[in-house]
Chains A and B, each alone.
Chain A
Amino acid sequence: DVKVTQSSRYLVKRTGEKVFLECVQDMDHENMFWYRQDPGLGLRLIYFSYDVKMKEKGDIPEGYSVSREKKERFSLILESASTNQTSMYLCASFDRTSYEQYFGPGTRLTVT
């Protein structure tokens, strides 16, 4: 079974803090994604990566950055957290053979 794990299920941070969200997959997938999910808006793509050290902006990259130093790990960084970044963050890994995208359990981030 493909496993995508995220470092925290729940996180509370203060405005202005630097926040790291980590995602690890165990299936040697090249493509990995970070989304945020908000009520009524669905999943919106923040950043994605198709190889180590490669990254591309998604639809809403402002206020975020990413790091992919190893194939299995894709980190999302909030440089200076703001209250409008309170959301559910979902990481996903993509299988190029089956064309399935596998999601982690999500991190519910609250910025106060």
Chain B
Amino acid sequence: EDQVTQSPEALRLQEGESSSLNCSYTVSGLRGLFWYRQDPGKGPEFLFTLYSAGEEKEKERLKATLTKKESFLHITAPKPEDSATYLCAVSMTTDSWGKLQFGAGTQVVVTP
């Protein structure tokens, strides 16, 4: 069965304390892996797309990496404004374009 699992469920960080979020997937054929950020009461906001193992993408304090079985979202020296729920999603080659399967998310809280 195709699955997307995120860990941990929740993460509490001190400002400046770097950490990583994990997204592991078991799918029959990966077309792409996506990271989103979601603030409370809002829709998810696109961050990154990764297509192949070894690929990395960066945006400010965030860096996403991809292997054949999992993806990591590294948060370097986080600030309180990085507090959000981070969602991982996969697109499978067996699915229609744009159809995504989401993980349950990791809720990140960064305290001053």
Whether both chains belong to one complex is answered with yes
> Which chain A residues have a beta carbon within 8 Å of chain B's beta carbons?
4, 31, 33, 35, 40-45, 48, 50, 56, 58, 90, 92, 94, 96, 99-106, 108
Among candidates A42, A94, A100, A106, residue contacting B104 with C-beta atoms closer than 8 Å: A42
Known: A100-B49, A101-B46. A48 touches B105 (CB 8 A): no
Among candidates A42, A45, A90, A106, residue contacting B99 with C-beta atoms closer than 8 Å: A45
Q: Which residue on chain B has the smallest CB distance to residue A39?
A: B104
Known: A41-B104, A42-B104, A42-B105. A102 touches B96 (CB 8 A): no
Closest 5 CB pairs between A and B? Answer: A103-B43, A94-B98, A42-B104, A43-B102, A31-B98
Residues of A within 8 A of B89 (CB): 43
Q: Is the interface of A mostly helix, strand, loop or mixed?
A: strand
Q: Report the contact-size class of chain B (Cβ under 8 Å from the partner).
A: 20 to 34
Chain B's nearest CB lies how many Å from the CB of A77? Answer: 20
Among candidates A35, A48, A108, residue contacting B96 with C-beta atoms closer than 8 Å: A48
Chain A's nearest CB lies how many Å from the CB of B96? Answer: 6
> Which chain B residues have a beta carbon within 8 Å of chain A's beta carbons?
32, 34, 36, 41-46, 49, 87, 89, 91, 96-105
Residues of A within 8 A of B97 (CB): 31, 50, 94, 96
**Could you give 5 example pairs across A and B, Cβ below 8 Å?**
A31-B98, A43-B44, A43-B102, A45-B99, A50-B98
Q: How many angstroms between the C-alpha atoms of A100 and B46 in the bound complex?
A: 7
Residues of A within 8 A of B32 (CB): 99
Chain B's nearest CB lies how many Å from the CB of A21? Answer: 13
